């Protein structure tokens, strides 16, 4: 199981010992990366789709490893004033990398990194520099960067919340970073058919990275992270794909609309895709359906969707996004299993639709919306006024 963020919620359905571990104690709430979400509803027929994911034994073990972190009371992350425009310099040695973080980012401790992990520290540092520069040097930034193996290898980073505040640590999953070389070829193999669903123009960056990888020119962890996260998104998640946005664009073209009507995929102005969605019994609702929907629409009309690539530091930006604002998971967490659960986190359908235009993961709940939107802003994405308004509404709660 991929998630960290959801494990606390899942604990409630798990063994009595987990429940007692939490009883009377803290109410930790893990916020994890966008990567940890799998769902797949178009806003078409949102209410009709409801899928429960099987809680695996792995989730159980992973939850335990995370729980141990809560034996102590957390120290809250603090605001720091850094240089308004830090120039990132890639370190050649471990000492240099740590020194850079201490001097420029105010990081007091890199916990769990070894001399060989220079690339990992460089990756985190560069991501943090970008966030700091975006904030003109005034930001909440943790004193500690922790590098540790989590059981699950798909989550690359996470932060911990207690009450409405966040802990003073940014956690990086060593297992994820260390396994990246073996994960890329698998994802690459799976991506071949899916890549054709997207326009060449929108796939340009991903194609460049694939080329670089195939020519054995990819040595940088930063490039590997970027390639892996994009391939994974293309293959399995489709979580950051702007469904509504790109599908609406397609529906606005009369010729394509007519093709859908002719093929019975559109009736009375509504897309009819329900029967094409796999059932929970097929075991892959969360991962299969979006790709399937794209395939159906693309095959029926010849339309190519626009792919929205993720950058190499998206996870760092996302987690830092959580840290900049109050924890508002009282409105719901990223751990959802159905479109209805997503919708229930919002005050109304408009809010939900606005969040969905940022990413599917953003639509899971207001606190993930804040993190996702912040990441998009740091990445220089253009955001609509609706998104900005909703962001400031929840970010200032």
Pairing of strands 109-111, 144-148: parallel
The answer to whether the beta carbons of residues 165 and 327 sit under 8 Å apart is yes
Using the structure block, give the residue that is written with the tokens 């220089």: 380
Closer residue to Zn ion (CB): 160 or 277: 160
Number of neighbouring beta carbons within 10 Å of residue 254: 8
Indicate if the alpha-carbon torsion angle 255, 259, 265, 269 is positive or negative: positive
Write phi, then psi, for 362 (nearest 5 degrees): -60, -30
CB of 69 to Zn ion, least distance (A): 17
CB of 31 to Zn ion, least distance (A): 4
CB of 120 to Zn ion, least distance (A): 20
Whole-number Cα distances in Å, 18 to 65, 101, 125, 182: 11, 37, 35, 33
Closer residue to Zn ion (CB): 2 or 91: 2
Cβ neighbours of residue 353 closer than 8 Å, sequence gap 6 or more: 43, 244
Residues that bind Zn ion in the complex, under the rule CB under 5 A: 31, 368, 371
CB of 34 to Zn ion, least distance (A): 7
Closer residue to Zn ion (CB): 335 or 368: 368
Q: Which helix (H) or strand (E) segment is 157 a member of?
A: strand 157-162
Closer residue to Zn ion (CB): 98 or 128: 128
Closer residue to Zn ion (CB): 113 or 325: 325
Whole-number Cα distances in Å, 358 to 192, 326, 329: 26, 20, 18
Strand segments, DSSP code E, in 199-304 are 266-267, 270-271
Closer residue to Zn ion (CB): 198 or 391: 391
Closer residue to Zn ion (CB): 107 or 161: 161
CB of 55 to Zn ion, least distance (A): 20
What six digits make up the tokens of 317? 């930006």
Distance in angstroms (rounded) separating the CA atoms of residues 246 and 251: 9
CB of 163 to Zn ion, least distance (A): 17
CB of 5 to Zn ion, least distance (A): 6
């Amino acid at each position: 199981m991929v998630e960290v963020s959801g494990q606390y919620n899942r604990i409630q359905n798990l063994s009595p010992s987990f429940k007692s571990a939490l009883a009377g104690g803290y109410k930790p709430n893990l916020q994890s990366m966008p990567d940890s979400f799998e769902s797949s509803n178009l806003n078409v027929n949102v209410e009709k789709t409801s899928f429960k994911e099987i809680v695996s034994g792995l989730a159980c073990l992973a939850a335990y490893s995370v729980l141990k972190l809560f034996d102590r009371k957390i120290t809250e992350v603090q605001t720091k004033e850094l240089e308004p425009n830090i120039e990132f310099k890639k370190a050649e040695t471990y000492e240099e990398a740590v020194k850079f973080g201490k001097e420029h980012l105010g990081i007091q401790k890199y916990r769990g990194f070894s001399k060989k992990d220079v690339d990992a520290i460089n990756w985190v540092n560069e991501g943090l520099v970008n966030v700091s520069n975006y904030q003109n040097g005034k930001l909440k930034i943790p004193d500690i960067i922790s590098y540790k193996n989590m059981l699950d290898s798909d989550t690359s980073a996470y932060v911990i919340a207690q009450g409405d505040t966040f802990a003073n640590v940014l956690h990086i999953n060593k297992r994820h970073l260390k396994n990246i070389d073996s994960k890329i070829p698998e994802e690459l193999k799976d991506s071949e058919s899916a890549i054709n669903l997207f326009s060449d123009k929108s796939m340009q960056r991903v194609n460049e990275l694939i080329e670089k990888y195939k020519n054995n020119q990819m040595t940088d962890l930063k490039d590997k992270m970027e390639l892996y996260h994009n391939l994974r998104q293309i293959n399995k998640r489709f979580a950051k794909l702007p469904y509504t946005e790109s599908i609406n664009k397609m529906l606005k073209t009369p010729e394509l609309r007519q093709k859908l009507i002719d093929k019975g995929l559109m009736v009375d102005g509504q897309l009819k895709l329900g029967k094409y969605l796999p059932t929970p019994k097929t075991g892959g609702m969360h991962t299969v359906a979006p790709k399937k929907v794209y395939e159906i629409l693309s095959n029926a009309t010849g339309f190519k969707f626009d792919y929205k690539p993720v950058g190499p530091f998206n996870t760092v930006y996302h987690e830092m996004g959580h840290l900049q604002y109050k924890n508002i998971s009282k409105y719901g967490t990223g751990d959802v299993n159905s479109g209805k659960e997503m919708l229930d986190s919002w005050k109304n359908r408009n809010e939900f639709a606005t969040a969905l235009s940022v990413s599917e993961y953003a639509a899971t709940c207001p606190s993930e919306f804040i993190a996702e939107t912040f990441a998009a802003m740091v990445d220089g994405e253009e955001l609509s006024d609706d998104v900005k308004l909703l962001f400031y509404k929840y970010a200032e709660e």
